Amino acid sequence: MLVVLLVVWMAYSVMSSLWTSANGAPWVPTKLRTVRRLLEMVQVRAGETVYDLGSGDGRVLIVAARGFGARGVGIELDPVRVLWTRLFVLLLGLRKKVEVRQGNFFTQDFRDADVVVCYLLTSTNRRLGDKLIEDLRPGTRVISNAFPFPDWELVEEDLEHRIYLYRIP
């Protein structure tokens, strides 16, 4: 039975990675110290709304809510990760502070964001850039983990953690 579960989990992991890669980026968990650093760098304040595009297991949302007093909204394509995050949020008592939407962030509305967090490939950032500029209010902070927005004016960068901060003009 354990072998069957392991094989099913491995097959799911491969399929999920291929599916999410084709639609933005594969899921790679961010180290918690990097999560904290990017939320500090973007200066998240209590009461702000932080969107995580491709939210994976929800760690950015949870740290934003618990550690910074923000409201977290995740958009995640993978339904299993959405269910996992929703369960974890429920167990942590954060249902009023964290919401996870299942879907493709290219078709979602996130105009109410104060902060947008991305851990996507550079090619995905390039495709997403126009939507962010069109949809977000001027001054909205966009922070990218590991992969920059190549055509955007950089506000600040942390080379040690490979984090890039931008503002919507």
In this prediction, residue 43 carries a pLDDT of 98
Please name which of 43, 34, 37 lies closest in space to residue 139, comparing C-alpha atoms. Answer: 43
What global pTM score does this model have? Answer: 0.88
In this structure, are strands 49-53 and 115-118 parallel, antiparallel, or unpaired? parallel
Residues sharing a CB contact under 8 Å with residue 111, sequence separation 6 or more, in sequence order: 135, 136, 137
Q: State which amino acid sits at residue 104.
A: N
Give strand pairing partners of 165: 143, 156
For residue 110, how many other CB atoms are within 10 A of its CB? Answer: 19
pLDDT of 11 over the 80 cut? no
Using one digit for the tens of pLDDT, what is the confidence trace for 12-33? 554 554 445 555 678 889 999 9
In this prediction, residue 138 carries a pLDDT of 98
Pick the CATH number of 28-167 from 1.10.730.10, 3.40.50.300, 1.10.10.10, 3.40.50.150: 3.40.50.150
In this prediction, residue 157 carries a pLDDT of 97
pLDDT of 2 over the 90 cut? no
- What average pLDDT is seen over the chain? 90
